[in-house]
């Protein structure tokens, strides 16, 4: 057995930074509402793959950075990511054994929950009507999940992060 | 070597979640009610700035590539066109100077004050998209350049929006079409005042508070009314596009198209409107000078406006760094809005309206 990479945490952070870049990528106005929450997707992968490396607190820190990056109220994404990380870390043993479809369903509910939470927190700040378009990122996120999972798995195995 | 603990040590995951949730809720509450977290936010903004600039990089690269790959003929044609354009604008500005002079004189007759001294800073919009449903853009100038909240932002055609948050290196600008944005306007033709509200579409504003019998026609120009104090008076905002009376409702259905090309702009002008105004009795020219700039109150020769303007106006639109006064002593261009905030020399900042004109007008009044 090869020894795991000591820079594993660094790799985790690098993929998250990469996801933050994708999150604020400028797209045309048609596609923009469908841009999934890449940061959350990447973090869910790491929660499920390496639950002992990344905890609730690291998710919270990344959430605060995402708040600053996207200009939200401080604490919005921090709260969401912390809650999602808790769910993932509680259930990761089961999720790993799930077949692909069930795993997809779990991811979908995580993303949906995150979107709804985000909407609730934002409507404290400026009350607005709920529109179905707020949930688009959850659908698109579920669709891109297999690719994200495969790519991150390749990165993880190549760099022997364990 | 990572040790995989069979029995986790430290606080349990439930405790950690509780702490994280409590911290976030606390921060949310504090952030909503007072600006105590601004320091934390600006510190963290340095951390995320590399991400922003990296995302912006390819788009900047392509636009640079496009600029450098432009052909000689195109360049020559563009140059010719711009020269013509500038010739026309200069002509208009000459008239503007005369009108401003007249305005000051008339206002002094009415014993009312006249505001002067707006200065601008050119900022570039970063190619990033923060959140899908808000019309908020990021510009590459921040509080290090003296930007502050509620500053008006313009482009060459009209009002773009206002600054809603600043960090040291970048600022967020809310566009006038954001659903949460409203701007006090008046109709240029008859001075009717109302409010233009954003719709969430980049090419549409609505005027929801005008009665059915209001004197509005398609094609009317809406300018800022100066009410509310955020936007200085007189900048074009939008053109009325459609007016539809609703007999069964108290208000008419009126929509307008913003003058600024909100979907295309790459560069914007950030405006400092000077809160000081010309004192009431502008009879003494030294009075006027003292209110604007002390350094050149007496040395200023009455320079011809026609000579100054053509050189001055391009300085506003020039992107590159150094701001050059037209001639060293006589030009009193920069009225520093907030010297305490500015840490660096403000680059590219000039004012649109020259103080010389006011000086001259004062002297003429003496005559």
Would you kindly state where each structural domain of chain A is located, as residue ranges?
Answer: 8-22+34-158
Rounded Cα distance, B307 and B72, in Å = 31
- Does the pLDDT value for residue B299 go beyond 80? no
Question: Whole-number mean pLDDT of chain A?
Answer: 88
**Is B98 within 8 Å of chain A by CB?**
no
Q: What percent of chain B has pLDDT over 90?
A: 24
pLDDT at A5: 66
DSSP assignment of A36-84: --HHHHHHHHHHHH-TTTS-HHHHHHHHHHHHHHHT--TTHHHHHHHHH
Alpha-carbon Rg for chain A in angstroms: 16
Domain(s) labelled CATH 2.40.10.340 in chain B stretch across: 121-273
The answer to whether B309 and B156 are in contact (CB under 8 A) is no
pLDDT at A32: 85
The total of other beta-carbon atoms located within 10 Å of residue B227's CB is 15
pLDDT at B229: 82
Once rounded to an integer, what is the mean pLDDT over residues B249-276?
A: 85
A74–B5 CB contact, under 8 Å: no
Rounded Cα distance, B149 and B165, in Å = 6
For chain A, give percent helix, strand, coil, nearest 5: 75, 0, 25
B41–A68 CB contact, under 8 Å: yes
B2–A63 CB contact, under 8 Å: no
The answer to whether B222 and B239 are in contact (CB under 8 A) is yes
Cα angle B15, B21, B24; round to 5: 140
Once rounded to an integer, what is the mean pLDDT over residues B89-117?
A: 79
Which of B13, B21, B165 has its CB closest to that of A79? Answer: B21
B60 or A85, which is more confident: A85
**Is B303 within 8 Å of chain A by CB?**
no
- Give me B266's structure tokens: 């790459």
- Does the pLDDT value for residue B328 go beyond 50? no
Q: How does DSSP classify residue A32?
A: G
Least confident of A6-15, A57-66, A96-105: A6-15
- B106-129 confidence digits (pLDDT tens): 888 877 666 656 788 899 888 888
Q: Whole-angstrom distance between the N-terminal and C-terminal Cα of chain B?
A: 89
Query: Nearest CA to CA, how far is B32 from chain A (Å)?
Result: 7
- Is residue B274 very low, low, confident or very high in pLDDT (cuts 50, 70, 90)? low
pLDDT at A3: 54
Rounded Cα distance, B36 and A50, in Å = 36
Rounded Cα distance, A19 and A154, in Å = 16
pLDDT at A8: 78
DSSP assignment of B170-205: -EEEEETTSTT-EEEEEETTT--EEEEEE-SSTT-E
A75–B31 CB contact, under 8 Å: yes
Rounded Cα distance, B240 and B218, in Å = 5
Once rounded to an integer, what is the mean pLDDT over residues B351-364?
A: 41
A33–B25 CB contact, under 8 Å: no
Rounded Cα distance, A157 and A4, in Å = 10
DSSP assignment of B2-34: ----SS--SS-HHHHHHHHHHHHHHHHHHHHH-
In this structure, the strands spanning B171-175 and B159-166 are antiparallel
- Homologous superfamily assigned to B121-273: Rod shape-determining protein MreC, domain 1 (2.40.10.340)
B167: which chain A residues are within 8 Å (Cβ-Cβ)?
Answer: 68
Q: Hey, what long-range contacts does B326-334 have (CB within 8 A, 24 or more apart)? A: B327/B303, B329/B296, B329/B299, B329/B300, B330/B296, B330/B299, B330/B300, B330/B301, B330/B303, B330/B356, B331/B296, B331/B356, B332/B289, B332/B292, B332/B293, B332/B295, B332/B296, B332/B300, B332/B356, B333/B119, B334/B119
Beta bridge partners of B163: B173
Residue B240, helix vs strand vs coil: strand
Q: Locate tokens 């150094």: which residue?
A: B322
Residues contacting B34, CB < 8 A, separation 6+: none
The answer to whether A139 and A115 are in contact (CB under 8 A) is no
- A21-51 confidence digits (pLDDT tens): 999 888 887 888 899 999 999 999 999 988 8
Question: Whole-number mean pLDDT of chain B?
Answer: 74
Beta bridge partners of B195: B184
Cα angle B104, B106, B110; round to 5: 110
- Is residue B276 very low, low, confident or very high in pLDDT (cuts 50, 70, 90)? low
Mutate to test the interface with A, among B2, B56, B262 (most CBs of A within 10 A): B2
- A107-157 confidence digits (pLDDT tens): 999 999 999 999 998 888 777 778 888 889 999 999 999 999 999 999 988
The answer to whether B284 and B362 are in contact (CB under 8 A) is yes
- Is residue B11 very low, low, confident or very high in pLDDT (cuts 50, 70, 90)? confident
- A68-115 confidence digits (pLDDT tens): 998 888 899 999 999 999 999 999 999 889 888 899 999 999 999 999
- Does the pLDDT value for residue B224 go beyond 80? yes
B294 or B28, which is more confident: B28
The answer to whether A40 and A143 are in contact (CB under 8 A) is no
Query: Nearest CA to CA, how far is B184 from chain A (Å)?
Result: 20
- Does the pLDDT value for residue B137 go beyond 70? yes
Which of A3, A6, A26 has its CB closest to that of B129? Answer: A26
Q: Locate tokens 């019998």: which residue?
A: B213
Rounded Cα distance, B330 and B352, in Å = 16
Query: Nearest CA to CA, how far is B28 from chain A (Å)?
Result: 5
**Dihedral sign (CA B99, B100, B103, B104):** negative
- Is residue B6 very low, low, confident or very high in pLDDT (cuts 50, 70, 90)? low
In terms of C-beta density within 10 A (0-12 exposed, 13-18 middle, 19 or more buried), how is residue A63 classed? buried
């Amino acid at each position: 057995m090869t020894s795991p990479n000591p820079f594993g945490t660094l790799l985790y952070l690098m993929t998250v930074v990469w996801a933050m870049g994708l999150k604020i990528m400028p797209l045309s106005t048609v596609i923009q509402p469908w841009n999934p929450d890449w940061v959350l997707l990447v973090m869910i992968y790491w929660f499920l793959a390496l639950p002992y490396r990344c905890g609730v607190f690291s998710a919270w820190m990344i959430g605060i950075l995402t708040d600053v990056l996207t200009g939200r109220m401080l604490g919005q994404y921090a709260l969401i990511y912390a809650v999602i990380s808790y769910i993932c870390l509680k259930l990761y043993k089961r999720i790993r054994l799930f077949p692909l479809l069930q795993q997809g369903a779990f991811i979908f509910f995580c993303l949906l929950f995150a979107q709804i939470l985000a909407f609730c927190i934002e409507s404290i700040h400026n009350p607005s009507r709920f529109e179905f378009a707020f949930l688009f990122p959850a659908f698109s996120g579920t669709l891109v999940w297999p690719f994200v999972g495969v790519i991150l798995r390749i990165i993880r195995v190549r760099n022997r992060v364990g | 070597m990572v040790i995989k603990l069979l029995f986790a040590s430290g606080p349990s995951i439930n405790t950690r979640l509780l702490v994280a949730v409590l911290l976030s809720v606390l921060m949310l509450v504090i952030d909503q009610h007072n600006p105590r977290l601004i320091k934390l936010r600006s510190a963290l903004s340095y951390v995320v700035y590399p991400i922003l600039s990296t995302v912006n990089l390819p788009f900047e690269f392509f636009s640079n590539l496009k600029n450098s790959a432009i052909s000689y003929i195109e360049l020559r044609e563009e140059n010719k066109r711009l020269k013509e354009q500038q010739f026309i604008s200069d002509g208009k500005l000459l008239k503007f100077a005369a009108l401003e002079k007249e305005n000051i004189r008339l206002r002094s007759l009415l014993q009312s004050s006249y505001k002067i001294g707006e200065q601008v800073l050119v900022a570039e919009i970063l190619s990033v998209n923060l959140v899908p449903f808000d019309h908020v853009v990021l510009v590459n100038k921040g509080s290090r350049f003296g930007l502050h909240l509620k500053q008006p932002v313009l482009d060459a055609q009209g009002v773009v929006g206002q600054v809603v948050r600043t960090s040291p290196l970048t600022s967020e600008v809310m566009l006038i079409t954001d659903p949460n944005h409203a701007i006090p306007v008046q109709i240029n033709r008859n001075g009717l005042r109302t409010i233009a509200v954003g719709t969430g579409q980049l090419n549409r504003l609505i005027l929801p508070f005008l009665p059915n019998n209001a004197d509005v026609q398609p094609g009317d120009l809406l300018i800022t009314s100066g009410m509310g104090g955020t936007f200085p008076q007189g900048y074009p905002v939008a053109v009325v596009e459609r007016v539809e009376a609703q007999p069964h409702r108290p208000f008419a259905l009126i929509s307008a198209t913003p003058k600024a090309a909100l979907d295309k702009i790459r560069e914007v002008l950030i405006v400092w409107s000077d809160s000081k105004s010309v004192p009431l009795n502008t009879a003494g020219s030294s009075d006027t000078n003292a209110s604007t700039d002390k350094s050149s109150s007496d040395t200023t020769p009455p320079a011809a406006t026609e000579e100054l303007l053509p050189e001055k106006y391009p300085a506003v639109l020039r992107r590159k760094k150094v701001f050059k006064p037209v001639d060293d002593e006589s030009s009193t261009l920069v009225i520093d809005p907030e010297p305490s905030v500015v840490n660096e020399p403000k680059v590219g900042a000039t004012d649109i309206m020259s103080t010389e004109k006011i000086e001259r007008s004062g002297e003429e009044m003496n005559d």
